[in-house]
Structure formats: C-alpha cells, structure tokens
C-alpha cells in the first residue's frame, strides 16, 4: 500500500487531503505541530470579538475521522528532519514516518527583520496563540483606560507596521471595535489611537487603485493615522523610530511586514528555493529534484502558465492543493499529470464591522455591506463542508 504524507494542515494541505481520500487503497498521514487548522483570514473577527476560538479553527483529529477512509490518520508531531533519499520523516517526538509521496504544505511565518532592533517584542497575529494574547492585551488597554479615566486619560497608541492585507484588516477591525466600545459605554477617555505604517507610497501596494482609494477612505473615517513612504527603524523605550526622522510613542506594536517560508524547507537541502525559502515547483507542483515530493500553498513559489508568480492567498492554496492531490493519485495509478494554472477569483478586504471592499474577477468593484456579505459567503462555503466532517468525526469518536 502506497504511503502519502502531508506536512501541514492549513488551507493547501486540507485541499490536497480532500483529493487524496478519493483513493481508498492508499495510506494517508497528515502531520501538523498544531491540533487545529487555523482559519487565518478570520482571526481579525476573533480579535474584534465577532467570533470565538471555535469559529476560527477546525479540529484536525475529528476532521480526519470524518472522512470515510480506513487508512487516514492525523499525527500531532513536530517535524525535525526529512530524509528524502530514505523517504523518512523524523520528528521531535522520536517518531519516524515513512512515505512514498510527500506533500509539503507547512505554510509561512511572519518575517521579523533582524536589522530592526526591538522588533522581536512585536505581536505576530499569524500565530493563533499570539493573536489571542494580542486580543487580551488590546482589551486590557481598553479596561485600563476606563478604570483610570477619572484621574487621568493616558494616551493609548497602537502601531501597526505593514500596510498589506493583514495590516489594513487588523487596523480597521481594532479601530471599529474601539470606536463602538467607547460609544456604547459613553466613556470620556476615548483617545485610543492607531497608526498604520507603510514602507510603500500607499497602503495595499500592488492592488487596484480603486480598492486602495476605498480602503484608505474607510481607514481615515475610522480615525486611523496612515503613514506612507516610511520604514520602521527600531523599537525602544515605548517609542517607534521611523525612517522619516520622527518617533512615535506606542502601547504595543503589531508587525505584519512580510513573510518567510517555514523553516522546515531547509531540511530539503538539495531542492531549489527562492530568497524567502519557498520551494520552487514546476507546473505539476513538484519540486525540481524529486517527482514524489510536492509543495503547495504559501510554502511554494507557484507560477501560472504565463510564468507569473502568484501571491500567497487562499485561492492559490486551494488550486495548488487540489492539483497536487490529484497528481499524486495520477502518479500512483500511472496516469498523466495535470498542469496547475492558478487564477485569482478576486480579493475581499475586511475593513471593520460590516464593511468590506472587493474586486470580483477583475470585473467588478464592490464595497460596504455587499462586499462584507460576499466575504461572509465565501468563508462559509469553505467552512461548512469541514464542519460537517468534524461533526461526523466527533460522532465516530464518541461511539468508540
């Protein structure tokens, strides 16, 4: 029986798994250091108290139980070494997992440049436990303001570094939440400030200008201070020092300035990688040296058939994960491989409360409540099938 291993239970890994389970005669092992699949784009709702931990996670144990596959297992392990020649995976828990086919789907992590002193203390909301810690810090700041408002009304200043999608969405949700908080309680000490720092000439670099304009207007309406063409140089003594020669005080800093590949890619020492550590794959999602090792989602440098590098997002994770799963099954059954040609469906940006902005297939720009409802529908259409599977898996576990 052929053994297929997926490392990483994120979006790409789950889509690959959904294809692989169609073959009931292979052994499938899903490995992840976490016990849950983190629905990363929805973490901002968690921070803004619009959802709970259960709403932004999918339990991987019950998910795997929910698939109708007798040879599928989930292993909560930390990968420490990959021997691509012996086809073995070594883990921190001293367990060795063998494979015939390997799908790398371990994703990325926030890149903290060592050239910026003090940045290691910034919050990283890509990690769910850090996002929860940040949520608690944010709420503590609000509590301290109202606790002390009769005696003093100290400034609270949150600095968000990086004005890509993550930075814009977290700044918008925090601003909306805090505005509603002070309005609902009629608290007098409502001087919480949020600054968004972009090293580019605008926020959301690379997106269409109308989306940038809509987002910028919304952020300003929420009271967010946008600082462009400026880089963070160091964080020290409660201040952020900027490249424009100014310094601004901060209560805490959120860094969303870039990503780098999971460190696990260094274990494949003879496989081609780019400058960010991402594995370079061909049109079938295979690595350059090994036809039995695939890379998908954010951990891979993925190009469309025109040679353009695709941005890391859920759409590319879905397409690449599905393609890799199909191609592993094709290799096993001796069929021809299918080329992967990812195309973006569009983009949707959460901008606080029931307000969003979006580009649909490059044809239509939407904003406000309509864009928000579309975003909710897209998320629900992904989550609902997984919820059915984990409920089915949970019922199986209860019968054991």
Q: What is the dihedral of CA 13, 18, 20, 26, to 10 degrees?
A: 100
Closest by Cα among 202, 252, 255, 204 to 230: 202
Cβ proximity of 329 and 23 under 8 Å: yes
Would the CA dihedral through 316, 105, 15, 386 be positive or negative? negative
Angle at 361 between CA 369 and CA 356, to 5 degrees: 20
36 φ, ψ (degrees, to nearest 5): -135, 155
Token representation of residue 166 = 């993550």
Closest by Cα among 144, 171, 116, 156 to 238: 156
Cβ proximity of 265 and 104 under 8 Å: yes
387 to each of 107, 180, 365, 384, 393, how far by Cα in Å? Answer: 22, 31, 31, 5, 10
**What pTM was estimated for this model as a whole?**
0.86
| 129-147 residues labelled b (16+ CB within 10 A) or e (exposed) | ebbeebbeebeebbeebbe
Cβ proximity of 4 and 29 under 8 Å: yes
Cβ proximity of 317 and 37 under 8 Å: no
Mean pLDDT by 10 residues, the chain (400 residues): 96 96 97 88 70 82 94 96 94 96 86 69 63 73 64 72 90 87 65 88 90 96 94 87 88 76 77 89 95 95 91 90 98 96 88 92 90 90 89 84
Token representation of residue 397 = 């576990």
- Predicted pLDDT at 93: 95
Token representation of residue 187 = 């608290």
Burial (0-12, 13-18, 19+ Cβ within 10 Å), 202: middle
Token representation of residue 3 = 């053994």
Residue 236, classed as helix, strand or coil, is: strand
Token representation of residue 215 = 């987002």
- Predicted pLDDT at 189: 60
């Amino acid at each position: 029986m052929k053994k297929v291993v997926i490392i990483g239970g994120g979006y790409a890994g789950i889509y690959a798994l959904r294809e692989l389970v169609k073959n009931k005669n292979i052994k499938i092992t899903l490995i992840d250091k976490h016990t849950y699949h983190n629905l990363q784009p929805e973490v901002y709702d968690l921070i803004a108290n619009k959802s709970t931990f259960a709403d932004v996670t999918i339990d991987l144990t019950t998910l795997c139980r929910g698939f109708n596959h007798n040879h599928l297992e989930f292993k909560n392990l930390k990968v420490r070494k990959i021997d691509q020649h012996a086809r073995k995976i070594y883990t921190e828990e001293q367990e060795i997992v063998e494979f015939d086919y390997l799908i790398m789907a371990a994703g990325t992590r926030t890149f903290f440049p060592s050239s910026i002193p003090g940045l290691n203390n910034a919050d990283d909301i890509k990690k769910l436990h850090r996002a929860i810690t940040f949520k608690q810090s944010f709420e503590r700041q609000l509590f301290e303001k109202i606790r002390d408002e009769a005696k003093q009304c100290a400034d609270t200043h949150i600095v968000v570094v990086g004005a890509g999608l993550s930075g814009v969405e977290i700044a918008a949700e925090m601003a909306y939440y805090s505005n509603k908080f002070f309005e609902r309680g009629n608290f007098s000490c409502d001087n919480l400030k949020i600054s968004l720092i972009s090293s580019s000439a605008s926020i959301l670099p690379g997106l269409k200008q109308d989306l940038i304009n809509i987002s910028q207007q919304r952020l300003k309406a929420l009271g967010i201070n946008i600082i462009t063409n400026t880089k963070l140089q160091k964080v020290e003594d409660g201040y952020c020092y900027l490249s424009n020669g100014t310094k601004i005080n901060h209560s805490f800093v959120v860094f969303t300035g870039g990503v780098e590949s999971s460190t696990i890619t260094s274990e494949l020492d003879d496989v081609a990688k780019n400058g960010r550590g991402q594995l370079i794959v061909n049109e079938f999602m295979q690595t350059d040296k090994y036809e039995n090792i695939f890379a998908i989602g954010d951990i891979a440098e993925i190009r469309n058939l025109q040679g353009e590098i695709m941005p890391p997002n859920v759409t590319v994770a879905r397409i690449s994960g599905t393609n890799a799963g199909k191609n592993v099954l094709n290799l096993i059954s001796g069929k021809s491989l299918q080329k992967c040609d990812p195309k973006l469906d569009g983009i949707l940006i959460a901008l606080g409360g029931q307000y969003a902005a979006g580009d649909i297939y490059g044809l239509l720009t939407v904003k406000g409540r309509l864009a928000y409802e579309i975003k909710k529908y897209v998320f629900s259409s992904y989550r609902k099938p997984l919820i059915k599977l984990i409920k089915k898996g949970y019922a199986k576990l209860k019968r054991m």
